[in-house]
Amino acid sequence: MRSGSHRARGALAALTAAVLALAGCDAVGGDSAVPTSEGSGSGRPSPSPTPLWDRSPDSVAAVGDSITRGFDACGVLTDCPEVSWATGASAEVNSLAVRLLGRAGAAERSWNYAVTGARMADLPGQMARAAARRPELVAVMTGANDACRATPSQMTPVADFRADFEDALHTLRRSAPRAQVYVASVPNLLRLWSQGRTNPLGKQVWKLGICPSMLADADALDAAATSRRESVRERVEEYNEVLAEVCAEDRRCRFDGGAVYEYRFGPAQLSQWDWFHPSRNGQARLAEIAYRTVTARQSPS
């Protein structure tokens, strides 16, 4: 009987030890992963969270105005979307869509909803059409026509410009919450005037009504003309501040940091017909800026 009792106590002790050992192995929780990078000794890093910004989106929609339509890049007073910086197929331009998707991919998965003459108030409608495609990236360039009015007094107020841009982004988010947005700054219209005013043909085209707030009386250098142009330049800078601030509030939005505004367009980058809109060469430069911003590891400061 005593020997049987010893055997029973031995078996109980062994069972108790086994239970305690199992309990010790499950100390991190029944379904929890064992730590890897800190304290585990395995040397394996913890998995990184998925980044909010995808540097290689698989589809592109473009919204904006005449610049994104390639206006005056191929002929006088006409759109030429095939050379658009955003979605064009031209090998000479190598658009943002072509750089990101390849030529075949761009033909299948890029869309241009920009409209010549559009202002920021038109952007929510364009954005709704773009959102219906569920694009992974929306490229935005608009605001020049808000400054290019008949007179400076008719320029879009900054508060309205902000409200319309916010509305456009909200419109996109309702239908395509994960879409990324690239926002180009408004070009320096004063510099475009200073470059184009030396070309007689360009100045004749300007008289047809291209950006009169900046380009009217192109040769006038008196105080009134200088003040008028400066007021347009200042308004463009205010618009760019709005674009930067509103974009910064959206985690999936990147502003170009003022790169388009700062770019020094020269004769080769301007249309040979109006010396104001980008030429094919100018469109290519805009594509470079956009691609550099979209594929950068961090958003421009």
CATH of residue 91: 3.40.50.1110
Residue 202 lies in a domain: yes
Q: What is the pLDDT along the chain (301 residues), one digit of tens a residue?
A: 444 444 444 443 443 443 333 333 332 232 223 233 333 344 455 444 556 899 999 999 999 999 999 999 999 899 999 999 999 999 999 999 999 999 999 999 999 999 999 999 999 999 999 999 999 999 999 999 999 999 999 999 999 999 999 999 999 999 999 999 999 999 999 999 999 998 998 899 999 889 999 999 999 999 999 999 999 999 999 999 999 999 999 999 999 999 999 999 999 999 999 999 999 999 999 999 999 999 999 988 6
The residue whose two tokens read 């473009």 is: 62
Residue 55 lies in a domain: no
Domain total for the chain? 1
User: 180, 82, 160: which is closest to 119 by C-alpha?
Assistant: 160
- pLDDT for the residue 63: 98
Residue 37 lies in a domain: no
Residue 27 lies in a domain: no
Query: Does residue 149 contact residue 215 with C-beta atoms inside 8 Å?
Result: no
Residue 16 lies in a domain: no
Residue 35 lies in a domain: no
Residue 190 lies in a domain: yes
User: 182, 300, 188: which is closest to 237 by C-alpha?
Assistant: 188
- pLDDT for the residue 28: 26
Residue 123 lies in a domain: yes
- pLDDT for the residue 45: 52
**Domain region containing 84:** 60-295
* Torsion angle of C-alpha atoms 87, 91, 96, 100, degrees rounded to 10: 110
Query: Does residue 91 contact residue 295 with C-beta atoms inside 8 Å?
Result: no
